[in-house]
Amino acid sequence: MDKDTPRAHHDMGGAAKFMCEAVDTAPHGLTDFDKQVDAIRGILGAKQIMTVDELRRGIESIPEAEYHRLSYYRRWIRSITAILLEKGVITEAELRAALEAG
């Protein structure tokens, strides 16, 4: 079934383009970056500011090429940022100021 369906690019079960992709089964520890992003998502969830469903929706809306280029937790930070901006939890001005100060 590789019929011409409008399969979303994150909906990857059986996707032909990845059927020959080798799997790196070696253990890879999480970096500090990874753990911080993960923790922030958890805190936002626990405080009911952002759900895991919103996180997923944000990740799924990353354009296909970027989705595959970005590492797992870079997708997360991009989604978290987009969702928080969308919901007005943070403003673009605040974020720009922090980026410039950083």
Partner 1 sequence: MMFDAGANVRVKDDWPESRGPVHIRTPHYVRGMQGTVLRRLGAFPNPEDLAFARPAPVRALYHVRFDQPAIWQEGHAGDEVVVEIFEHWLEPA
Partner 2 sequence: MNIVETDGEQLLIALRSVLAAKGIASPAEIAERIASTDSASPGQGARMVAKAWTDPAYRARMLVDGSKAAEELGIPMRGMPPLGVLENSADVHNLIVCTLCSCYPRAVLGYPPFWYKSAGYRARAVRDPRGLLADEWGTVVPDDVRLRVVDSTADYRWMVLPLRPAGTEGWDVARLASIVREGDMIGVTIPKV
Please count the helices (runs of H) and the strands (runs of E) in the chain: 5, 0
**Does the footprint of partner 2 cover residue 13 (CB under 8 A)?**
yes
Looking at the Cβ atoms of 4 and 46, the one nearer to partner 2 is 46
Binding residues among 22-61 for partner 2 as defined by CB under 8 A: 22-28, 30, 33, 35-40, 42-44, 46-47, 49, 56, 59
For tokens 């469903």, the residue is 53
Shortest Cβ 69–partner 1 spacing (Å): 22
Binding partner of residue 53 among partner 1, partner 2, none, CB under 5 to 8 Å per kind? partner 1
**Does the footprint of partner 2 cover residue 65 (CB under 8 A)?**
no
CA atoms within a 13 Å half-sphere pointing along the CA-CB vector of 78: 16
Two structure tokens written together for 18: 């990845």
For tokens 């937790």, the residue is 73
